[in-house]
Structure 1
């Protein structure tokens, strides 16, 4: 169906062509409406009409079609420097039944290649190599105690990293959460190093954790921990004690609308703090994102619980995810999700609509310099071995992706282009401070790196 539409351009109206181009730029229905001075409902209707005429199911398919058709808006919108333009070519004949399969591959490959090359000409790639420094870890896999300099202290397979209000660096590693203080010394915030789930109500340092893979810090500086193999989310309170805020410890999917401590989770990994200090949890084994409100109740906000890939362009609660991991919010309140087994990054906008913003669904490496929806990712996908917290958003809106199985830190910039920032052993966790410095948990190298 996709190639048939590439070969024979359907009769879209002028307004539908304008909407299609803006969708190809990654705009939400709300953003399209604002750009074209129409209502959001009208924009949504145009998108549905485009899908119907083209026979498409996702916004990324519309983007690929726009690139192949050499579409441009008449008049001043949108700005020309952000529209990937493909070179015109003669319209090929309709493929026969015998040649259709070959024609499909050729047309689609050419369309993606032309779009990528065109976009690359319009995107400035900085030739400057980033500055990379170790902030914790020696490369050895071990624990050497607290109080020493973090750069002289070995770590055990760090999976997540977070930045505190005053520049502290928190690291989930070796069944512990460690804190690198402003003077560069490292201490233990929570965990003894023994795998387990005990210790609630007592000092966090004496509690047991079991492969923690996500960290989040609210506006008060409270640290939340995704205690993954314990099927809980835990909190280190201001007095240094630890408590469970979500999950009973039993693997399952239950409890929406009830106190989160009575709910069942299944291998929670990524965490993120939204507006109003609401905590969002990637309930990885249940294929959903859940929200812990400030009143202590839990509800599902993204995903049906079914494993798969579906729902782009529609309401997030009706979308289908597959092992969602890392979570991150931007400054506008859009939620980014590492949809790991789908090998995509998806975004839930402030209106609750979901879309794919990076990844093709193929576990591979490719697409640097091209629109991110044509780029290939190879995200870590096994929470039992460690998926980590693979997403972070910088102060200017760039999304940083720990592309673990590709051994790279990648960036989805605000124009929608994908690039590689640095190569490393196995990056699984990423965080960004308010000044734009990026911190990466390089798990198999047993270090945390800072990239400027």
Structure 2
């Protein structure tokens, strides 16, 4: 969930493959008409049964980014269209086609959060990594080795990161394998 610039609550409903909007003034709920790479002609994804919205984030300026299960990280434009921030679709199993850079691949992003500089951090759950997407779209791994360890931190492994947030000072915190993990003291 996240708020849009007008204060409306946006909710990712992966089961129904929709983005719902709860209007801040009227309290009415409606489906957002989002046109994304895996989207047919509206808010339902009829062409792709495997496409689900998996994560949302909003930066300080009101930009909304969201991830879809096919591996794309998208930016929602005011007119409902989207532009790609990062991610290339991959049908390969998690660890066989992992890439950073401008041709990055994501596997089942669970959550996302912006830092104060506008960088987007992604809990790339099935790749067992925390990824950083710069405003220009360049992707790098900031935590994790791809090993889905039972004990986070063991030899750099972080397990399957979920529920990522940014803390004051641009620090990160997330949940992994029943542990709360931070990138600092």
TM-score by length of 2: 0.82
Please, which of 129, 148, 164 is the counterpart of residue 344 of structure 1?
129
1:205-354 counterparts in 2 under 5 A?
A: 215-238=1-24, 239-246=26-33, 253-254=38-39, 261=43, 266-274=51-59, 276-284=61-69, 286-307=70-91, 308=94, 309-312=97-100, 314-315=101-102, 318-354=103-139
Equivalent residue number for residue 377 of structure 1? 158
Larger helix share, 1 or 2 = 1
Structure 1 unaligned spans of 5+: 1-214, 369-373, 381-388, 414-418, 420-452
1:405-416 counterparts in 2 under 5 A?
A: 406-413=177-184
Q: Is 1:273–1:329's contact at 8 Å kept on the other side of the alignment?
A: yes
Deviation, 1:311, is 3.1
- Aligned-partner SS, 1:304: coil
Deviation, 1:276, is 4.0
Query: Structure 1: how far apart are the matches of 2:146 and 2:39?
Result: 29
Q: Is 1:246–1:263's contact at 8 Å kept on the other side of the alignment?
A: no
Deviation, 1:377, is 1.8
Q: Is 1:288–1:324's contact at 8 Å kept on the other side of the alignment?
A: no
Q: Is 1:260–1:298's contact at 8 Å kept on the other side of the alignment?
A: no
Check 1:319–1:260 CA distance in 2 against 1; reply closer, same or farther (3 A cut).
farther
Equivalent residue number for residue 173 of structure 2? 400
TM-score by length of 1: 0.36
1:413-432 counterparts in 2 under 5 A?
A: 413=184
Query: Structure 2: how far apart are the matches of 1:366 and 1:281?
Result: 26
1:314-352 Cα deviation digits (max 9, x unpaired): 22xx21111122111001000011111110010011332
Check 1:219–1:262 CA distance in 2 against 1; reply closer, same or farther (3 A cut).
same
Number of aligned pairs? 175
- Aligned-partner SS, 1:390: strand
Q: Bigger radius of gyration, 1 or 2?
A: 1
1:11-46 Cα deviation digits (max 9, x unpaired): xxxxxxxxxxxxxxxxxxxxxxxxxxxxxxxxxxxx
Deviation, 1:219, is 4.0
Matched, 1:359 2:144: yes
1:79-118 counterparts in 2 under 5 A?
A: none
- Aligned-partner SS, 2:98: coil
